[in-house]
Every structure is written in C-alpha cells, then in structure tokens.
Amino acid sequence: MQSRSGEDSISSLERAREALYSPKGAATHGRTPLGAAGEQTLPHAWEEKPLPITMHRGERHVRLAGIFLSVAIIFFIASLVAAGYFFYFGNNSVSTDKVSIDIQGPTTIAGGDTVPLSLTITNRNPVALENATIEVDFPDGTRRPGDVLTPYPRYVEQLGTLASGATVTRSIKAVVFGGAGQTVTLPVIFSYGTASSNAVFEKRASYGIAISSTPLSVSVDALTETVAGDPLTFTLTVRSNAAVPLDDVVLAPSSPFGFSVTSSSVPLQNGTFVIGTLAPGATKQVTLTGVLTGQNNEQRVFHFTVGTAKSSQDSTLAVEYMTQDATVTIAAPFISTKLAINGDTSDQAVIAPGSTQSVTVAFTNTLSTPVTNAAISIAVSGSAIDYGSIRAQNGFYNSVNHTIVFSKDTDSSLATLSPGESGLGTFTFSTVPAGGASPTVTFSVTATGTRVGESNVPEQVTASSAKTAKVATAIALSAASSHTSGIGPIPPKVGMTTGYSIAWSVANRGSAVAGGTVKAVLPNYVTYVDKTSGSGSFSYDETSHTLTWTTGDLAQGASARSTFQVTITPSSSQKGGAVPLTGPSTFSGYDRFAGVQVSASTDPVTTETKTDPGYKITDGIVQ
C-alpha cells in the first residue's frame, strides 16, 4: 500500500514527461488489470473517465431516418401518379361546368313587344344527362304571343336524356311588358340527373332585356301653382303604346295630404280609375278635380301610376308600367279678398232677417308683379236675400245672374293693380222676413286678372273664395192684460183691490230655438197670484220680484201662450192714470241653426185691458 501511495504521489504530468524524454520510450508502470480479483483501483481525484460509445444506438438512428426517407419518396411517387391519373383520366366525372347554356335574343324591346329567344344547351360531360328540364321564368304581366289575354309566368320543357356531346336548341316567344327604362331579367334553369347518382344538378343562367318604351303611358296637365281652397283640376291622358290590345288597364292616383277629391270624370274604384281595354294607339282621358289645403309656399307632389289590374273583378293595381309625377305649389291668392258683412269679417257671420245689410270687399294684389284688367265679382245666392234690394256703390249689379262686378269699367284703379295695391267695393241688400228653414246668404268671390312678367305659370290668374252668412230666426213676443172676472172694480179705484190676468205669447218664425224663456219684473205694489194656465212653467223670485216663464224648445213656426194672475190696490198717487202691472217683458233663446242667442222684447203691461170685450179708454184709468 505504501508503494502504491508512492506511485500515486507522482503526478500524471511527471509520468508523461518521463515517457517523453526517456531514451527507452514510455515507461511502463506495473498496474493490476481492471477487474483483477481481490484488487480495487481508485482513479486519481481529477482524472476524467472517457464516455463509453455504444455502437448499437447509432445504428438505430440511421435505421429510422432511412425509413422516413423511404416513406416520403413513396408518398411523392403516389401523388404524382394520382395527379397524372386525374389529369389524363378525370374527364370521366360529371360537372355543371361542362354544361353550357347559350341565350340569343334582343337586348332592347318596347314594352308589350313579342320577345323571341333561342336557347342552346350543350352537354360536354363524358356521360349522358338524364331527366333534363329547361325552365324560364318570365316577369309579372308576361302574356302568351298567341293569346295576349293569357298570363305566361314561365316556360317549362322536359328534354329527357341528353347524350354526351349532344346539343339541343329551343325557340321561345313571349309578350313582355315593363316600364320605360326598366331592365327585366329572365332566369333560366337547366336541371338534370345521372344514371350513377340520385342527385339533381342545376345549371343556371339569366338574360337581361332593357325596356325602351312602356306599353302604357300617362301624361298630366295641371297648374303648377294653386291657391289653398281653390278648385284644382288634373287632366290625365292614358295612351297605349303596345302592338296588341291591353285589358284591365287602370290608373291609380296617389294624392298628398290636404287634397280632397270633389269630382272625377271616371268613378274611383278601390282607389283607381278603371280604364278597361285599350286598343293599340288608343287614348283615354280622365279629369280629377279637388281642393288642396296648406300653407303658403308649400309644395305637394301627386303621383299617377298606370298599369293593369289583378283581374276584371279586382281593380287593384297588379303591374305598374309608368308613374308620372306632378308638383303643385300652394301660393297665396294672387288677389287677396276679404269680405265683411256689417263690418264682420268672421267666417261665421250671422245677420238679422227683414233688415238692410252692408257688404264691403277689400282686395289687394299680393304678387310681386302688376296685375292688369283686374276684376272682382261677387255672386250672391240664398233663400234669405231680397234680390230686388241689391245696390252697388262703385260696381255693377247684374240681375240676370245675381252678380256684383267691380272692374275697370266701374273703378279705374282696377285697370292696373301694382304690387301691394289695394281697393274696396261696396254694396247693400236686404234680407227677407224670417219664415224659412235654415235661411242663408252665400257670397262667392272671384278675382281675376293678367299677371305681368312671370313665366312657367298661367298668365291669367284667378283666385276665389266663398262665405256664407246665416240668418237668425225672428221671435215675436206679445203681452196683454185683461180683467180677472169677479175680482175688484173696473175701472180700478183707489184703496180697492182689482185682479188682472196677463197673457204672454211667443211665436218662432224661423229656425228651431232651444231653451226659450220670458221674464219680467213686477212692480212692488203688484202682488203675484200663483194661478197660471197654458204651456210651459212659471217661477217667481220674491226678492227681485222677477217672474220667469219657461217656454221650452220652439220648433220652426211654433208658438206658445200662457197666462198668470196679479192683483193691485191703487194708491191715491196713482189716481188719474193707467198703472203698469209689469216691467218690459223679454224673451231669450238659442237659435240651433245660426248658433247664436236670439231675443225679443215688448212694452210693459198696464191696467189698460184692451183685449176685454167692450173695453173703453176710461176702463184703465184709476178712479
């Protein structure tokens, strides 16, 4: 162990040096071979042991790389084979790309023309196509060329089997309609199947046709300006441009808010004018009149659409061919007028029967340009006017048509009305006495003239308005006294009580009156006796000494009468004269037609009993 320790004490470096410089070569030190029995050798502390090399693991890595490379080469070769197969033998598959649809026909037509189409279908698939079908969808309104009354929604034909490489051609005709400028599209579908599959394949195509002109057209003739409330007329002309007769033609107007139809030359049915059948080149004219309301400078757009109806029984628009618009501007009256009756300019003027009325009409040029040859005419009508009483101060009354005309012939200022210039016309008339139902007087004002210096508007301008005045009813009220038999002396005497009966009578000569009452205040020396007779009812207020008779409603021409009793004990201060038994009597009620309160009154009733038989003047004088 010591010698071993001594050997170990020599460093490895020293041993290497000895071996290098030794003349005998490297020194060999005696060592026990590794693994000798009974001996253990410990390496030097810093001596490194080389890693063992296992040759069998390296061989495994080489084997896996080779396998991977072989698989990649095989996959690449298989891909090349598959690509070559599909490249050289893939034409045996069925594809819609190998079906061609060729459509020949006109690209532009007039609406209503017969459209000829040629469809050519070619099968370039390597197999036959079975259950082949052609379908062409036509736009709404299409008709059969041999029978234009029959709708033609689609063309369908079963072709059966189309062999590989085969071509089939079909000629199709249809009468196609549409609006001018519209492009209609015809979808074409070719469907088929194959012997080896249950699937149904479709090849789709489409063909566009531009409509150069519409089979039906509508033109609109109307003013571009109107005054709110004035009649507005549209003249509508429907024309057939088709080469064949068109049935169930309708014209559908679409009016803006504020337009009310007053008349039309053709009745409206479900919002449309039914034109019926139009022969080629035929026209039909429709006039539509109404009243447009709105504010100044507002614009309203009207739409007029012409087409065909769903059926002869249903006039609802089914196919639209053309829509024509018309824009109308609401303008202030060219010559504004304001009518006043007895100074009342309201729209609800009420006048009295059997009296003289004064009417004034003020007019003003509202345009920014002059108006020449201006004329204001007022036509009067109604059951309450006395036509023979009409008198015009600065105008002319034409008794033939009951019209008062103010023109340059009667007023030189109307020869030319400058912008903003005004004028005034005046006339009078009398109303007839009450007696008819709903008595009125209507004033229809029309202003005309020639506009100067404007374009795109009518040179001849017209503005009109109307006003109706209602005539209130007339109530006749009367009161009379008579001596109450058996009560006191006639003539009355101081200090002695005498009884009187007072009769009130009301007669309605015009429209119905509601809530009629008659009232009177009794003097404080008169005593009310609660004895009444006749229609209605009485009530007496002791505090105010007011007696009220409620007559109730009074129909046209109806009357009512009632009596009540009073007593009086004359004072010496009343001697020598007739004594009032009541104050003035007044009637009040509501005129249902005129919408106003009406009234009537009569003088106080006295002790003069003029209705008594044998009455003498002295009978009413207190003795």
| Tens digits of residue pLDDT in 552-596 | 899 988 999 999 999 999 999 999 999 999 999 999 999 999 999
Q: What is the pLDDT of residue 571?
A: 95
3-state class (DSSP) for residue 377: strand
Quick check: is 248 in a domain? yes
Q: Is residue 15, in this structure, part of any structural domain at all?
A: no
| Residue 532 Cα distances to 481, 563, 569, angstroms | 14, 5, 20
Local structure of residue 7 (DSSP, 8 states): H
Residues in the chain: 623
On the 0-12 / 13-18 / 19+ scale of CB atoms within 10 A, 114 is middle
Token pair 């048509």 is found at: 401
Q: What is residue 97's three-state secondary structure?
A: helix
Q: Which two tokens stand for residue 208?
A: 């566009």
Q: Which residues contact 606 (CB under 8 A, 6 or more apart)?
A: 481, 578, 579, 580, 581, 620
Residue at which a domain ends, from 456, 471, 486: 471
My answer on whether 309 and 420 are in the same domain is: no
Maximum Cα–Cα distance across the chain: 203
pLDDT of residue 293: 85
**Spans in the chain with pLDDT lower than 70:** 1-62, 81-92, 148-149, 179, 452-463
**Paired strand residues for 134:** 157, 190
Q: Both tokens of residue 281?
A: 């080149």
Q: Tell me: do 157 and 291 sit in the same domain.
A: no
Give the span between the Cα atoms of 91 and 2, in whole angstroms. Answer: 96
> Does residue 236 sit in the same domain as residue 308?
yes
Domain annotation covers residue 56: no
Q: Are residues 208 and 248 in the same domain?
A: no
Measured distance CA(588)–CA(102) in Å, rounded: 94
Tell me phi and psi for residue 475, to 5 degrees. Answer: -110, 130
d(CA 293, CA 231): 10
213, 240, 268: which is the final residue of a domain?
213
Residue 273 resides in a domain: yes
Give SS3 for 59. Answer: helix
In a domain, 161, yes or no: yes
* pLDDT value of residue 588: 96
The reply to whether 483 and 612 lie within a common domain is yes
pLDDT of amino acid 5? 43
The CA distance from 609 to 490, in Å, is 10
Residue 444 shares a structural domain with residue 356: yes
CA angle 303, 308, 312 (to 5 degrees): 125
What is d(CA 356, CA 391) in angstroms, rounded to the nearest whole number? 11
227 and 196 within one domain: no
Co-location of 526 and 588 in the same domain:
yes
DSSP states of 563-582 as a string? EEEEEE---GGGTTS--BSS
Whether residues 206 and 241 share a domain: the answer is: no
Residue 457: CB atoms within 10 Å: 13
Pairing of β 526-534 and β 475-483 = unpaired
Query: Does residue 51 fall inside a structural domain?
Result: no
CATH code for position 253: 2.60.40.10
398 and 462 inside one domain: yes
Is 584 inside any structural domain? yes
pTM across the whole model:
0.51
Same domain, 497 and 560: yes
Assess whether 396 and 461 both reside in one domain: yes
Phi, psi at residue 612, to the nearest 5°? Answer: -70, 145
Residue 479 domain flag: yes
What span, in angstroms and rounded, lies between the C-alpha atoms of 239 and 111?
13
CATH of the domain at 545: 2.60.40.740
| Overall number of domains in the chain | 4
From 471, 492, 516, the end of a domain falls on 471
For CA atoms 602, 606, 610, 616, give the dihedral sign: negative
Residue 612 lies in domain: 475-620
pLDDT of residue 55: 46
